[in-house]
Each structure stands twice: as C-alpha cells, then as structure tokens.
Structure 1
Amino acid sequence: MPSSQTPPAPSTDAGVSPLLIGLLALIALVAVLVPALLVANSPHVIVHKRPPVLISHRVVPQAELPPVEPVQLQAVDPDDARAINASVPFSTLPNPAARPFRLPGAADSRARAIDCLAAGVYYEAGDDTVGQRAVAQVIINRLRHPAFPKTVCGVVFQGSERRTGCQFTFTCDGAILRYTPTAAAWKRAREVAELALGGSVYKAVGHATHYHTDWVVPYWSASLEKISEVHTHLFFRWAGWWGTPPAFNRGYAGVEPNIPQMARLSGAHQGDAGTLLAPELTENGEPVDPEAIPDAAVPAPLGATGADNNSFAVTLDRTMNPEAFAALAIRTCGERTFCKFMAWTDAKQTPKQLPPSPAQSAAMSFSYLRDQNMGFAKALWNCQQFKRPSPVQCMRAQLPATATPPPAAAPVVAGDTKAIGPVPLAGIRKKSGGADQAAPAAPMVDKPQPSPTPR
C-alpha cells in the first residue's frame, strides 16, 4: 500500500558558494573564447597533401632547343593550387602580340586544319569564345616555334599516342570520344578557328606556348614566365630568347595529316594522307598503354651497332593481339624523334638488314613511322593478314617481285654508230624530225610514297 507521508525537501546547503560558481563559469568562457580568437587572427597556412615539386626556373640558351614537358600535375587540392598559382608573379617584361598567321594550302588540308583547331579550342576552353581565341593563339604560336610540330593537327594531337604524353589532355583521356559538341557549339568553335587561321590575333596572350587552369599546378609552371590570365586560364612563355618574337620563325609544313579521332567530328579527316596515330583499342575497348609492355618484349634496333639506331625489324609473337602492335612500336621507339618500326609474323621473312627485299616488304605484317619534327606518326597493318575497322589503316598491297635476269645487251659492232638503248614499246610512237618513230620505254623506277613537306 503506498505511503501517505510527504517526502522531505532537498537540502540547499551543498557547501558551494555562488562566488565559486561564477569563477568556474568565467574560466569556462575564457577557455572557449581564447582559442577562437587565436584561430580567427592567425595567418592562413596552406597545407598540402603532398609538397609540390616544381621544375626550377632556367633560361634555356639559344643554342639548345627547349624541351616540351609532358602534362603532369601536382597532387594538390584545387584551393591550394589557386594559392600556389597566385604566388607566382606575372612577368614585368614586354608582352608583344604575335604576328598574324594565314593558313595556306589545298582546300582539303585547310579543312582538316580548321577542324583540328576547332576541336582544340572547344575541348580546352568549352563553349567560351574569349577562352577559345586565347587557346587558338597558343596553338598557332606553337606551330611557329621550332620545338613543336609544323602542322595545326600535329600541334593539337602531339603525343596523343601516349596516355601520359599528350600536350592537350582531351586527345589522350578519351574526352573527344565521350563528349560531342552540339551543332551550334561546333559551328562557333569552327568560326573561331577560321578567324585565327585567317590572320586574327588574340593579343592578350602574346607569344605564350603554355597554359593551364588556375586550379591545377603542372610541374613546369615555375620554370616559365607567367604573362597573362584569361578567365581561369594562366598563360606562359619560355624565358629568355625562346620566348621572344624572333624564336617563332619556323614555316608551316603545308599538308595536314588525317586524324582518326577527328573522323566522328569532321568529314575532312577520312583518307590516307599521313594519318596520325590514335590510341589503339583492345578487344574490351580499353586503350593499350605502351608503358605497360615489359622491357623484355622491347627489341633492339636493327642498326644498334651501326649508323642507324632508329630502325627496327621485328618478328611478332603470333599470339599477340594485333591491336597491341602500335603500342609495341611506340614502346620500342621510346623518345626517338624519328623512328621506323617494321614487323613480320613470319620469322623467315624478317630481314637481317635493311632495306627489306621486295618479297619481304610484301610479307610485312605491320609498320609504324614517326617523325616528330613534322608532327607525323602513322601505323599500318597488312589487311590481308589482319582485318581493320578502316581502310586508312591498311598497307598498300604489294606483289613480291620475281627475279628476272636483265636482257643481254646487244654486242657493239665496230663502226656501228647506232645508240644502244632499251627496246621500244610497241604501239607508242612520237614524232622526231618529221617522221614517226617508236618512243623508247621509260625506265621503271620505284617512287617513294609521298610524305609531309619537311619543315
């Protein structure tokens, strides 16, 4: 049964004075306010996940061509990158505008150049006319500089055969294959390209050959002179003579290569005029990384002990995926400016010395030729041995020459003044001195295949 007694009231005499309670409250308040004030008034400190490592600033002498560094970014947060970039001062030296550039050449080559430049400005600057004009000027500046290829497409797609070696990231990270501009955006990009290739100059970037967005830090950013800023892009030129107007003195090659990656955007990039190598695909659709090929699989140059250290004659593993032939060639050629890679699946046909015989040439399974001075790299397969998705990847069919002994020369008879020459072809006649005479046959000469005009 519950108790009816009222419970006693709690005692108020706890032995703690109001003065002590107030003192404790004051101490607690100070403990909160002091750290807050220290944090609010302390200087801002940038904390990096990994300390940036920048290429030291060095003026490359005129006698030495400056290296073109691959695009490699520091592992820093975007906010830290902006602070680092802001700490790099702008150059106080003059920033003269570049000379106008007017694209020469045939209509088909001009169309390829315009579309390559349009792709460059769109994928690098988005649908922003001002940013696109700045990027277009950098590409034209590179075209005129001895350190870069001598075609518009060669500049834009330089290093695109390597996942880590491209100069414009959209050419090797798959962006050009994943994202397609709208018809209106592509039209605007082409208009910017046509203006730039028709003599329009974007003065703000001067003779800049490099740029990056302000939320990334490339390794080379401290080695060049920062000269201007356009929206979120920072523009740089080489220090010393290589960044001055006289250094931009190289002529245009005159013939633009076909770019397989451009075929989905441009009808002008479908043909067989010096195709620049695009990343090859494996059966599962992933790019073949040349750096993933082991050192043991890389052959030595055929002329390693002679004068030619840039030519390779290789016997391919019959079990190797044909899609990986190009990656093997790129890995084998390494950093060579010029390289010729020829490969056979039949070891009996692989030559021991170059040039190969006509029969060996007809049996060749794959070839790769690189000439970085002209922005040219081309891979071709023997399509009688390996099916390819496009005929531009096929070698020209060659018939092995049969060994036919030359005809015996007619004996020279004393007193015979008739000139000894080739037997005339029947049915071909020409006039000489008013009389019809049989025309001598023209000697048959193997003409080399056309190649881009040298710089």
Structure 2
Amino acid sequence: MTQRPILWAAAAAFILLAIVAVAVQLYSRGEFENEEIAIANGPPPPLPQVGLPDAVAPEKELLPVEPETAREMNAARPFSSAKVVAARPFRSRLTGEDLERAITCLAIAALYEAGAGADDQLPVMQVILNRVRHPAWPNSVCAVVFQGAERQTGCQFSFTCDGSMLRWRPSASALASARTRAASMIDGKVEPRVGLATHYHTDWVLPYWSNSLDKITAVRTHLFFRWNGYWGTGAAFGGIPTSIEPRIAQLASYTNAHSVVETPLSEEEAALATGEAAVTETPSVTVATDVATRIELPQVPVLKLALDPKVQPGRWALDALEMCAGRAECRVAGWLDTAAAPARLTRETVSQTAPTFVFVQELRNRTRQAYWDCNRWPKASTSRCLSGGSQAADLLF
C-alpha cells in the first residue's frame, strides 16, 4: 500500500516528460514558431482577405510599375527574420483516376508557372499543396489550380484563364518529368525552401498584396510569401484534402481521367471524339435553339456552332453530331472567336476567315468526320486535319 503513491508519482512524472518531449519536437519543427499564437485559447482569428483574388478588383491585382522598378522595389524589401518551417508531407488519400487527375493538374501547373526545370517546379508544387490544406482555398489539387479559371481575369493561376494553354503545349518528355515530380510531391516529398508559403510572384511584377505578407524566400526569379500571424503557422494547415478530384475539361487531351462525358459514349461517338470517322445510324436528338444558328444555303445546310473554349475539340464533335441529328447531309462550322465568324457563310467568307472547327456528315457515303487544327490539338487521324480557310470552304460547300 505504501508503494502506490510512489508508483502514481512515477507515472505522472513519465507522462509529464513525454509531453515535454513532444513539445520540444514540435518546437524544433517550427510548429510553435509563434509561441503566443500556439498557446492561445479560443477560436483562430478570421481569415485575412489580403492576398485572396476576390478581395480587390482583378485589374488592381498588380501595381502599375515597370518591370525594372518592380525588381528594385522587390529587392529592397527584406526577407522575414522568422524561421522558414518546412510543410508536413502531403501523403494524399487519392487513388485511381482521382490520383491521375491530381498528378496531371499539379504537373501542368508547374510547367506553365515555372517552366521545365525541377528547381523551379518543386516550389510551385509545394505552394499548391500548401493551399490544399489551408482553409482559405479548396481542398483538392485541381480545384486549387483551376480556381477562377472560368473568369478572364481573377483566376488564381494566370495560365488557366489567359489563353496560355491554347498558345503553347509542353513536350511529352517535359510533361512526363513534371508528372514524376508531381507524383512524388503528392506522395510525401517536401520542398523545404518555401516552407508554408501560400503565395508567390515573379520579381518583375508587384502585386498589391506583397507588402502585407511575410517575404520568406526566393527561388530564381520567384519570390515566396506566407501570411503573418496565426494563418501563416503550421497550426493553420490542418485541412484534410478530399479523396475526390474534379475533372478539368482543359486537361482532357492530356489524360482520359479528365475527359468530361455526361453519358457513356457509343462506339460511333467515341471514334468521332478522337478524330476517327464513325459509321452507325444517327441517334434521335433534338438540337437546342440557343446552341446553333441555321444558315440557309441552296445545297447542304451549314450550321454555325459556338465553340466552348474550355473543352477539347472532341466535345465540339459530339455537339456537332447532335446538331446534325436527323439530316442525311449536314455541315457545321465553328469559331473560337465568335466575333470573327462571318455573318453569312459562303465559300468566299469562309476562305477569308477560316473556322476553328468543321464537321461533315454524309450518310449516303456513311461519313461523319470532324476536322480541326492538329498542330494545336493533336488527333489520331492526322490525314484529316484542318489546314486553313480554303480547305474549310471545300469541305463545307
């Protein structure tokens, strides 16, 4: 009986030592970088609005200064003296197509934002993964990368809304290397140089928010920032990433995992969407009146299709198939720039203003074929690519 108090005291001392050991470990990792914040009671402060894209009008995102002036101002601002704390390993719960979608989103973002070099890509990937676990942003990789992409301005990553993906496409080897890096980051690799950064910009621009955040490091021409106070500490990055990644139509040409298909495709539709001729009987589909404008011509009807720039040409081909439903012969022409489309479609106007997309249906010849620029959007059947206005006129008239 006399030994029981001694045992209780020893147990209490052991527990206390364990708590101290854990606290020391967390402190060494930087989890208690700001002691007052770490031990404070009560709920965290409200999320700051500085550095979020919707906090100001998009046109005010960058201050109107010349590149050299921006470089001088950026260089004059000192780095934060606080320790740069490495983020915890990401280690996602993603599997199957969801994992494939996340890897592709992360790789594409790194390529367009930082180029092909690993030294530039890894910091960008880390910022994206930091955002996934921060409550100020969506909790999936693809949702973070393409947040705001539906707007012409105000998107989180400019390449998703400024037409970059239409002007340039990474090589297969560059994409493969970026995908390897993305997969390793999603599986727990950490880029320690940027720590808990949630923002970055090139040194030749000056965003309105840069003076309000802690400047923590530079990697080549990129400067990296984190929020000051609680929302820039490790305690704020406790969000659990989702196990479901959204499909991004803009990435459908990179992987089938991002293909956006509302219903299962028939054999004919699948072949059509990949640029191969399809030969089966026409399904019965009613065309919505707001999708196309009927152009009356003496011979074969030519329909004008408003092309959605957010999807791949295979989706346009399926739209054209629906528009031509019930017609023995049908032609469809579409322009990405609707303002450039001729008011009246004739051989002359089409020759002068080449369409982006052409679809031809001739059931008597058992032909349904979509044409587009194979240099811009690769397709399997390279013998049926759209090369210009003259060819488009020959196909349509």
- TM-score when scaled to structure 1? 0.47
Tell me how many residue pairs correspond in the alignment. Answer: 228
Distance 1:194 1:322 in 2: 42
Residue pairs, 1:99-178, within 5 angstroms: 99-178=88-167
Question: Once the two structures are superposed, what CA deviation does each residue of 1:86-115 show, in whole Å capped at 9, x if it has no partner?
Answer: 121111112110000112123110000000
Query: For the Cα contact (< 8 Å) 1:258–1:272, is it kept in 2?
Result: no
Q: Which amino acid aligns with 1:159?
A: G
- Structure 1 residues 223 and 105, CA gap change in structure 2 (3 angstroms): same
| Structure 2 equivalent of residue 69 of structure 1 | 53
Q: Which amino acid aligns with 1:253?
A: T
Q: By how many angstroms is 1:198 displaced? A: 1.0
Distance 1:251 1:194 in 2: 18
2:238 to 237, 249, 252: 249
| Structure 2 equivalent of residue 191 of structure 1 | 180
Q: Which amino acid aligns with 1:268?
A: A
Question: Once the two structures are superposed, what CA deviation does each residue of 1:306-328 show, in whole Å capped at 9, x if it has no partner?
Answer: xxxxxxxxxxxx986689xxxxx
- TM-score when scaled to structure 2? 0.54
- 2:201 is paired with a residue of what secondary structure? strand
- Shift >6 Å, 4+ stretches: 318-323
Asked if residue 227 in structure 1 is aligned to residue 216 in structure 2, the reply is yes
Residue pairs, 1:226-305, within 5 angstroms: 226-272=215-261
Residue pairs, 1:29-68, within 5 angstroms: 62-67=44-49, 68=52
| Structure 1 equivalent of residue 70 of structure 2 | 81
Distance 2:133 2:89 in 1: 11
Query: For the Cα contact (< 8 Å) 1:69–1:220, is it kept in 2?
Result: no
1:202 to 191, 204, 209: 191
Distance 1:188 1:225 in 2: 31
Distance 1:141 1:207 in 2: 6
Distance 1:193 1:269 in 2: 16
Q: Identity of counterpart residues, as a percentage?
A: 49
- Structure 1 residues 166 and 99, CA gap change in structure 2 (3 angstroms): same
Distance 2:62 2:172 in 1: 32
Distance 1:208 1:89 in 2: 16
RMSD: 2.7
Query: For structure 1, which runs of at least 5 residues remain unmatched after alignment?
Result: 1-58, 274-317, 324-378, 380-386, 395-455
Larger radius of gyration between Structure 1 and Structure 2: 1
Query: For the Cα contact (< 8 Å) 1:76–1:217, is it kept in 2?
Result: yes
Q: By how many angstroms is 1:271 displaced? A: 3.6
- Structure 1 residues 153 and 322, CA gap change in structure 2 (3 angstroms): farther
Query: For structure 2, which runs of at least 5 residues remain unmatched after alignment?
Result: 1-36, 38-42, 263-287, 294-309, 323-397
Give the structure with the higher percent helix.
2
Distance 2:254 2:207 in 1: 29
Q: By how many angstroms is 1:272 displaced? A: 4.8
Query: For the Cα contact (< 8 Å) 2:248–2:260, is it kept in 1?
Result: no
